[in-house]
Amino acid sequence: KMLCLEGNIGLAAVRNTGVRHAAGKYVLTLDADDLIDPGFVGKAVHALENNPTFDVVVTPAAYFVDGTEPMMRTGKDAVDYAIFTGEAKVAGLLDNRFSTATAVFRASALRDFPYNEDLNCYEDWSLYMRMCEAGLRFIVTTDVFFHYRRRANSMVHKPRDSARMHAEYSDLLRTSAPTALRAGSSVLALGIASPFRGPVPHPEQ
């Protein structure tokens, strides 16, 4: 079923709309300009069917430059990789170590944790942080099944001034960071202070 929206309602709202209309047990999120290995969906569904205490399957990402074609099975031409390391909450707090927006979810998990439509960006980072905080469990593949197209004018890579980047990152932490850190820990203060000079604002301000 294809949904046609009247206007640009934002990435988070579009994904939430899709989830509300999804009829299956599982949901794959994938941006139109990125690529997945043809076998990823089957492997992910098989993993979730056989591991009922897990809710999400994520894969390391191989990046390729727009205008080139990735070698889907090998990734040898990738210009960069997103690799999962460390404990999820710690590794994903001050840097987005959760790869990209692409994953296979139980549909019930996305209904319980909708994308935050108040954020202008980082909505996927926010989702993973909130899921980790709530105790949802992730399966991480050892092979690379996702290929991210790197474009110079994409929303993530286009130039942004430091004030805007600070505001976007602060909104992410304020709305999505673990509860204990939002209460005023030094880790959160360090994270929101790093992009600019001056006094550290209280997380609730």
Six token digits for residue 62: 């191989």
* Amino acid type, 25: K
Six token digits for residue 54: 């897990």
Instruction: Provide CB contacts within 8 A for 201, sequence distance 6+.
Output: 170, 192, 193
Q: What distance in Å separates the CA atoms of residue 150 and residue 69, rounded to the nearest whole number?
A: 12
pLDDT in tens, 38-79: 999 999 999 999 999 999 998 888 888 777 766 665 555 666
pLDDT in tens, 159-189: 566 777 667 767 777 777 776 666 655 444 4
Residues in the chain: 205
User: 135: burial class by Cβ within 10 Å (0-12, 13-18, 19+)?
Assistant: exposed
Residue 74 has a pLDDT of: 57
pLDDT in tens, 129-168: 889 889 899 888 888 888 888 766 655 555 566 777 667 7
CA Rg value for the chain: 17
Q: What distance in Å separates the CA atoms of residue 130 and residue 173, rounded to the nearest whole number?
A: 10
Given a contact cutoff of 8 angstroms between Cβ atoms, the answer to whether 137 and 55 are in contact is: yes
The model carries a pTM of 0.74
